[in-house]
Amino acid sequence: QVQLVESGGGLVQTGGSLRLSCAASGGTFSSYAMGWFRQAPGKEREFVAAIKWSGSRTYYADSVKGRFTISRDNAKNTVYLQMNSLKPEDTAVYYCAAGSQWGVRIVADTAVYDHWGQGTQVTVSS
């Protein structure tokens, strides 16, 4: 059973940066595609970014493209989300997720992911 633990959230001003980390344990990390999702109060969970098991392919939501970067270190069993030029609308709980499937048509679907972390809060003040 894969366990995922996010960290790195916090309060930041508009235009600032944060780096989220998600540490995995209990499985073969390099065999999983990893995704980041977020959920704001009163809204559904939405896709942010995903990275293939090797790190060779990435995919982003249009709302974060050019500002966020997903990466992974398979030797450390960790996936990262570098968030720059943050906006108030980026405020949400951010979750990482692990799944065994990949494809640009499916990576944004929460149903593709088998394992989820508990989330970390990101708050961007205006």
Q: Is the CA virtual torsion 95, 120, 43, 38 positive or negative? A: negative
Q: Between the CA of residue 106 and those of 51, 79, 102, what are the distances in Å? A: 12, 19, 7
Beta bridge partners of 123: 11
Task: Report which of residues 1 and 9 the model is more confident about.
Answer: 9
Number of other CB atoms surrounding residue 98 within 10 Å: 23
Tokens linked to 109: 């679907």
- What is the predicted pLDDT for the residue at 1? 84
Q: CA angle at residue 51 from 109 to 7, to 5 degrees?
A: 90
Selected residue with higher pLDDT from 27 and 116: 116
27 pLDDT more than 90 = no
Distance CA 42, CA 44 (A): 7
- Find the distance separating the first CA and the last CA of the chain, reported in whole Å: 40
